[in-house]
Structure 1
Amino acid sequence: MSRYAYVNSAFVPHRAASVHIEDRGFQFGDAVYEVWSVRDGHLLDEQGHFERLYRSLDQLDIRFERSQSAMQVTIHELLRRNRIREGLVYLQISRGVAPRDHAFPATNTPPTIVLTAKRFSFSAAGRRAEQGVRVITHEDERWDRCDIKSVNLLANVLAKQAAREEGAYEAWLVDKAGLVTEGSSTTAWIVNADGALVTRPLDNHILHGITRKTVVAVANAMSIPLIERAFTPAEAKSAREAFITSASSFVMPVVQIDDKMIGNGAPGSLSLSLRDEYLRAQ
């Protein structure tokens, strides 16, 4: 656990960090968040995560005046205080503290800022990638603005728990049309019979993954064909390869979906190459 957290304008002992009971993030989930991986002391895909953060704030009309450069200084000071060179940084910004009312509070209500940092073993994630992971399919019960990285994650939590109860690493969410949207906390990908990458296009029904964005750039540099379209669970189960992407798993091969092995049941060569190239690009 981190020794220090950052709440609003103060670095405080992690065990003593707290927010007011009428904070709108606690009362309504009226907040956004971001997560950065930290490797060798620097933030991976740093700019992309900041751009998504400020877009999410704008979409929810949360008035946050602190600049990106100021936030970068605060984040790196938090990492220094916690002596973290390899880990994860979590940032949450809510609409602030106000008497409980569904409508927005007064415009001069200051937002609440919470930052935490923890160590994370990417070597363990690398060993997991060598074996590959299993995912299950699960009904997508989320709201229609999944492109906003809000803290409204109850449906994601329930899907992740369903996966864990079945001994799986992740749940791929399936919409009412029978198409895979994304994982409970990851982006879903397959490799078709022609060796092309297939992943759902960016819209309001999926989070605009920052790792996804970098993997697309890496694939283009490697001259790997990319098709942005939705796919069914049946298509995924018959794919040549499958994998997921996220800030903490990077590129993680999927070797089983529900009870169906993918390919020969081992991590695919293209998935592993993309993982290597992604890390090399950082």
Structure 2
Amino acid sequence: MRRIVTIATSSCATLLIALLTGSSAHAALPTAASVPGGVALIVLGPISASSTRPLAWLGEQRVLVAAEDAQWVAVVGLDLATTPGTYELRVDIAGEWQRHPFSVVNKDYPAQRITMKDSSKVQLSASDLTRVEEELATIQRLKRHWREATETDLAFVLPAQGRRSGRFGVRRFFNGEPRSAHAGFDIAVARGATVKANAQGQVLAVDDYFFNGKTVFVDHGNGLISMYCHLDSTAVQPGETVSKGQRIGAAGMTGRATGPHLHWSVILNGAMVNPELFVVESGKKS
């Protein structure tokens, strides 16, 4: 039986809460940005010695809940296709159901025009189109994956060192034709450059896709997943546990790419969100 001692001082009380919740008192939450492609942070209530971690849903998708400064905070991923307006989080706190409304505001992303020498990556053949549709269905399943975890590391390091070449959310045109917005973050590096896990987790999948090329998915727990694309080679296997900073592969230009680089995506409760919101550099958010 767990013995609980109530201590009056705030510092000791914070330590007690951290021990009870199984996480640090400061979860290094991502930067809040309640916009399409961003992350909404919603305070659910105080943590107490008797409280259990709330369960939260956006629609039918579970949402990560973290401990931050003696409060429970829902960390909600917002898809790029999210329409600005008012949304509602459903929350179960020890059997008591609550509804937490929140607003999403508009964000204008710039346009980018890309010329592909290999037009077969833009105008797909019937067989390539069938392959792409099957792969997209697989990726959608991976994006909705949920693994219960005691704690989730939300303070990311950059997975590669290089020039930041492609920002998140850019509206893209390939050979003059509109395509889906850029749901990731590009880092220009030489072929063979080290790609490392931005946080600890478990390898969810390793595969070679038509558009994404050689790809690794790392599941950080509680609906937070990283995806590393266009790799030249991979160094991990599905089910393997990886630590923050561990080498998971080498950068390349497999799939649809105009040059060697790492495309890095972050998925939160099934939504592709801006990876830069999670990056901590020199003790500060990027």
Q: Give the TM-score normalised by structure 2.
A: 0.25
Query: Which structure shows the bigger proportion of residues in strand conformation?
Result: 2
Q: Give the TM-score normalised by structure 1.
A: 0.25
Query: Which structure shows the bigger proportion of residues in helix conformation?
Result: 1
